[in-house]
Copies of this chain bind each other. A is one copy, B any other.
């Protein structure tokens, strides 16, 4: 029935999140996921058409959750630049708490080869768009000087990404530890239009 169906599907997604995070795409066998779910392989294929489809579903689920959280954090801030900062903090904090999730989202997809390229563009594009949107509004609000916000957004995304991935692989510094420095250099890299005495009012941001 429908309810049981949903539950089982979710159980599979949950198990897959763990498995992919621990072992990567190729190392994770459909039998592994079936095992973790107390399902047979056939049972699994009743719920998902393919292993690839499963992986994409996992990615979508994680990316959606993270985007919602980031946008929620940003929405609580009055100023655009404060919003971007809050979103940054939220993402770093969130990923910093769940290493496996970070690994699935930021690393494991590449194992899929060309099948992943489109998905990568889509997911990273969505995050970049959130950042860029905040920056654009900050420009309009006169908080920062006009610049190529698309490039800046990508650079920020990359910086955050590398901090997290490095932590995933080496264990330190944790995203939380890196956050203050990261925030300082990213925000600090933006020019203020009224820069006679920078006097940041963005410093004591809320969140």
**Which positions in A face B, CB cutoff 8 Å?**
23-27, 107-114, 117, 120-121, 124, 147-148, 150-152, 154-163, 165-166, 169-170, 173, 178-191, 195-200, 202-206
Q: Are A173 and B160 in contact (CB under 8 A)?
A: no
A162 contact from B155, B188, B199, Cβ within 8 A: B155
Query: 19 interchain pairs (CB within 8 A)?
Result: A109-B110, A110-B110, A111-B111, A121-B170, A124-B166, A154-B162, A154-B163, A155-B181, A158-B163, A161-B162, A162-B162, A181-B204, A184-B189, A184-B204, A184-B205, A195-B197, A197-B198, A198-B199, A200-B200
The 6 closest A-B pairs by CB, nearest first: A158-B162, A180-B204, A110-B110, A185-B189, A189-B189, A155-B159
A197 contact from B25, B196, B202, Cβ within 8 A: B196
Q: Are B181 and A151 in contact (CB under 8 A)?
A: yes
Q: Are A120 and B162 in contact (CB under 8 A)?
A: no
Which residues from chain B contact A202 at a C-beta distance below 8 Å?
Answer: 184
Known: A24-B113, A147-B181. 14 other contacts (CB 8 A): A110-B110, A111-B113, A121-B170, A147-B185, A151-B163, A154-B163, A155-B186, A159-B162, A184-B203, A187-B189, A188-B191, A198-B199, A199-B199, A203-B203
A27 to B116, CA, bound (A): 13
Q: Are A204 and B185 in contact (CB under 8 A)?
A: no
Which residues from chain B contact A187 at a C-beta distance below 8 Å?
Answer: 189
Which residues from chain B contact A190 at a C-beta distance below 8 Å?
Answer: 185, 188
Which residues from chain B contact A184 at a C-beta distance below 8 Å?
Answer: 147, 189, 191, 202-205
Q: Are B200 and A155 in contact (CB under 8 A)?
A: no
Which residues from chain B contact A182 at a C-beta distance below 8 Å?
Answer: 151, 155
